[in-house]
């Protein structure tokens, strides 16, 4: 499968279940949160659409405060399904966005991220998973999730690779706005 280069015109960001209680048990919470915030900065600068999901928020709490504060509007899709694509509200949001490519982040890599990724690929989306913007409770499950998504056809990438693909060139106002997060 050929790797596609992302562009601002048809790319969106999905943040899956980056909730207080879930993130508290992840192995790399700080790293993952940092990468998600960088991707939210990218989304803000280029006005990329963003979907945020929350798995059973009554028990797992809301999305991390740092992420909620960065969002232009906090309106998460709540779910109990592991696969976001099994949730009608998620599908409704996705259909309104006319996307070809999706940047998929959140937790857990081997559960919700994997199942959502495979469904999105089957629907014809290009799915880009920045490896340090997803996490699982264990390193082994994180690795398995990444491996299975790559085998399914997802592009396993990095946050910085995504940022530079969308930026396209240096010297622009967008480049200057994102320079602080690139360094």
Q: Please indicate whether residue 112 is annotated as part of the active site.
A: yes
Catalytic residue of the set 84, 93, 112, 117: 112
The catalytic position among 79, 84, 117, 135 is 79
* Helix or strand run (H / E) with residue 135: strand 134-135
Q: What radius of gyration, in Å, describes the C-alpha atoms of the chain?
A: 15
Residue of 17, 28, 38, 84 with catalytic role: 17
DSSP 173: H
Catalytic residue status for 180: no
d(CA 106, CA 86): 17
13-34 burial by CB neighbour count: b if 16+ within 10 A, else e?
bbbbbbbeebbeebebbeebbb
DSSP secondary structure letter of residue 111: I
The Cα–Cα gap between 97 and 41 comes to 19
Compute how many other C-beta atoms are within 10 angstroms of the C-beta atom of residue 122: 11
Identify whether 93 is a catalytic site residue: no
Active site residues: 17, 79, 112
């Amino acid at each position: 499968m050929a790797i596609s280069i992302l562009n601002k015109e048809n790319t969106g960001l999905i943040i899956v279940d980056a909730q207080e209680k879930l993130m508290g048990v992840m192995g790399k919470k700080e790293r993952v949160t940092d990468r998600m915030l960088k991707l939210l900065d990218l989304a803000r600068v280029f006005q990329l659409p963003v979907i945020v999901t929350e798995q059973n928020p009554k028990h797992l709490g809301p999305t991390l405060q740092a992420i909620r504060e960065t969002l232009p509007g906090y309106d998460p899709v709540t779910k109990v399904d592991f696969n976001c694509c099994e949730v009608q509200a998620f599908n409704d949001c996705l259909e309104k966005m006319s996307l070809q490519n999706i940047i998929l982040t959140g937790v857990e890599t081997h559960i919700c991220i994997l199942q959502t990724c495979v469904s999105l690929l089957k629907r014809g989306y290009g799915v880009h998973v920045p490896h340090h913007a997803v996490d699982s409770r264990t390193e082994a499950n994180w690795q398995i999730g990444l491996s299975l998504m790559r085998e399914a056809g997802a592009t396993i990438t990095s946050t910085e690779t995504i940022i530079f693909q969308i930026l396209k060139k240096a010297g622009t106002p967008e480049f200057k706005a994102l320079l602080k997060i690139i360094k």
